[in-house]
Amino acid sequence: MRRHLDHGVTVALMLAAGVAGAQLTPGSVGTGSSPSSGTGSAPVPSTPGATPAPETPNQGTPGSDAPTTVPGTGAPGGTRPTPRVGTGGRDLPPSPPGIAPSSIEETPGSSQPGRAISPAPALEPSAEAEQVKEGVTGAPDSEEKPARREPLTLARLVARAREADSRVEEATAELRKFQALYQQARWAWFPKFEITVGAGGPTPEARNDGLGGPPTTEATYKGDLNFGRVGVTMFSTGNAVLPLYTFGKLTALEKAGAQGPVLGAALRERTRNEVGFQAAQAYFGYQLARNGLQQIEEVSKRLEDAGQRIERLLKEDSAQVSAVDSYKVRFFRQIVEARRAEALQGRQFALAAIGLLANVGPEDAVTVVDEDLELEEDVPVPSLEQALVRAEQSRPELTAVAAGIAAREQEVFIRERSYYPDLGLAGFYDVRFTTSTTRQRTPFAFDPYNDRTGGVGLVMRGTFDIPIKDAQLEQARAELDKLRAQEKQIRAGIRLEVSKVHGELVAAWSRARAFGEAERSARRWVTAAFTAFDLGTGDTRDLVDAFTAYAQASGDKGKSWHDVRVGMAALARVTGAPLAPGE
């Protein structure tokens, strides 16, 4: 009997296995961890994937009842248990009612409750009315209730995380940058106007007959310090070139720029999928820790009943038990209390992660609905072939690498056409005016002070740095070949990742069904063993064996259903598309 009780001390606490599941580990899938993204992520700029360890937020009071919802992000569909509202912590007592300012009191025995009466001696009716008015204005409104935040369901949590997480905001900013680059590529044909405007002085006097003749004033002659009536000069010059034909380079540049928004949107969707999966991990981790605490409470109650029964039998000098049984039960109860502390810490950590992913303020309470991990009905898991097809069609990494390849192909085309010149329409003007000079009216006289020229014409522009162009073309072709090789690696990595996650989900379903049946059988065994122990027909050996089996089956069942729910979310992430009901 004692040997079996020793065995029960080490085995019956399998409920604590759920505590480890409550620790949020980004990337964990099922019973293992998700495969590394080294072979399954696009070779494009990515957002940080690590989530910093958040501080533990304060627990909020339970919110209002929430309707039954079907958890999103990876849940293939099917019937879901009805969630119950709660924060996972112990119920807090209701807050005290609002108290009016100290200058206002309730008149004892007053027939009009809520009317504020001054405790001072009787005043004139008008003065008393004014005092009552001022007091009521300053008193808090007892009918106004503070707004209560709705508790987070899985769907609401995932939606908030996909929109409010800082990594998503970073990816959105990156998408805006790609959109701006695309606009820049679209307007690459627009002429670049180079305009210069200036003024300066003083300028010496320069006077003649306006036809290029000799100077008409003494100050106009050079070689002395007589500058005459000095003035200022103002000028403006400008030029621009409008491309007319570039042998397809401008069109290729616009096509390459159009791939930028596609790439940015795919990167943002990949970030959203990762954040949504981490939100599902935190949500189900919280539910696992909460269910584990409930099971620990049940274990504690049964241990307390067994301990009381053993103490009573010891007082009766029954040969059915001994003092050693009492010591072992006490030891067992202390171990359960230690596991309770670990489960509480896991629940608090899950709440902190939920608050961080949902972008909840540090002063706001995090409330989460209470939901059973066990599904009431089996949800058919899609076949591996269906999951692979979904991943090939919907994974944002494949969209991103395809956009990158298209952009690189256009870059190679531009480098190939860089040997050809560009044809365009050029225009220019030059306007100058000086206050101390005579404007020349004949075109044969040089006039740098009052020039007015302008014109348009066809131009051809190009360079003859052929060796440099050859090197640039070879670099572009090498980058294209590199990206195509990376695409093959990404596709292979995605297939491997989908196969791993799908296999873990199928195995988790099998474990959940088996442990569910084992838990029901163990529950009947415990009931029968306790009944026999109370009647005196059973010994502690049967009781400990039944209790050990029940505790182990309950812990394994909770962990397996946690793996099922997380595996569904993981399968949605690796396929890149929500699972449709019935698949």
Mean pLDDT, rounded, of the chain = 76
Among residues 245, 176, 571, 163, which one has the least CA distance to residue 422? 245
Pick the residue with more confidence: 333 or 122?
333
DSSP 488-550: HHHHHHHHHHHHHHHHHHHHHHHHHHHHHHHHHHHHHHHHHHHHHHHHTSS-HHHHHHHHHHH
| Distance separating alpha carbons of residues 154 and 165, to the nearest angstrom | 16
3-class SS letters over 264-331: HHHHHHHHHHHHHHHHHHHHHHHHHHHHHHHHHHHHHHHHHHHHHHHHHHHHCCCCCCCHHHHHHHHH
| Distance separating alpha carbons of residues 359 and 133, to the nearest angstrom | 43
Strand spans (E) along 315-451: 368-370, 422-434
Q: Average pLDDT of 151-169?
A: 89
In the structure, what pLDDT confidence band is assigned to residue 115 with cuts at 50, 70 and 90?
A: very low
Q: Average pLDDT of 369-378?
A: 82
| Distance separating alpha carbons of residues 571 and 502, to the nearest angstrom | 7
Pick the residue with more confidence: 33 or 257?
257
Q: Which residues pair with 427 in a beta bridge?
A: 240, 456
Contacts of 275 (CB under 8 A, 6+ apart): 161, 162, 165, 167, 168, 357
In the structure, what pLDDT confidence band is assigned to residue 485 with cuts at 50, 70 and 90?
A: very high
Q: From residue 550, how far is each of 10, 263, 393, 540, 555 by CA, in Å?
A: 14, 53, 45, 15, 9
- Give me the pLDDT at residue 379, please: 77
Per-residue pLDDT tens over the stretch 229-240:
889 999 999 999
Per-residue pLDDT tens over the stretch 486-518:
999 999 999 999 999 999 999 999 999 999 899
C-alpha 258, offset from chain centre:
26
| Distance separating alpha carbons of residues 566 and 557, to the nearest angstrom | 14
pLDDT at 356 over 60: yes
In the structure, what pLDDT confidence band is assigned to residue 113 with cuts at 50, 70 and 90?
A: very low
Q: Average pLDDT of 28-35?
A: 38
Pick the residue with more confidence: 333 or 399?
399
CB-based burial, 193-216: b 16+ in 10 Å, e otherwise: eeeeeeeeeebbbbbbeeeeeeee
In the structure, what pLDDT confidence band is assigned to residue 242 with cuts at 50, 70 and 90?
A: very high
Pick the residue with more confidence: 168 or 340?
168
- Give me the pLDDT at residue 433, please: 94
Phi, psi of 47, rounded to the nearest 5 degrees: -90, 155
Which sign, positive or negative, has the C-alpha torsion 321, 322, 328, 330?
positive
Per-residue pLDDT tens over the stretch 275-286:
999 999 999 999
In the structure, what pLDDT confidence band is assigned to residue 38 with cuts at 50, 70 and 90?
A: very low
pLDDT at 139 over 90: no
Q: Average pLDDT of 535-560?
A: 79
In the structure, what pLDDT confidence band is assigned to residue 404 with cuts at 50, 70 and 90?
A: very high
In the structure, what pLDDT confidence band is assigned to residue 168 with cuts at 50, 70 and 90?
A: very high
Q: Which stretches within 457-465 are classed as H helix?
A: none
pLDDT at 417 over 70: yes
Pick the residue with more confidence: 247 or 317?
247
Using CB atoms within 10 Å of the CB of residue 132, give its burial: 0 to 12 exposed, 13 to 18 middle, 19+ buried: middle
- Give me the pLDDT at residue 407, please: 96
- Give me the pLDDT at residue 252, please: 96
Q: Average pLDDT of 441-457?
A: 89
**By mean pLDDT, which of 138-142, 263-267, 516-520 is the weakest?**
138-142
| Distance separating alpha carbons of residues 25 and 498, to the nearest angstrom | 19
In the structure, what pLDDT confidence band is assigned to residue 149 with cuts at 50, 70 and 90?
A: low
pTM: 0.65
Q: Are 178 and 264 in contact (CB under 8 A)?
A: yes
Strand bridging mode 231-245 / 422-434: antiparallel
- Give me the pLDDT at residue 322, please: 75
Q: Average pLDDT of 517-529?
A: 88
- Give me the pLDDT at residue 505, please: 93
| Distance separating alpha carbons of residues 345 and 532, to the nearest angstrom | 37
Q: From residue 341, how far is each of 90, 208, 272, 302 by CA, in Å?
A: 13, 104, 34, 19
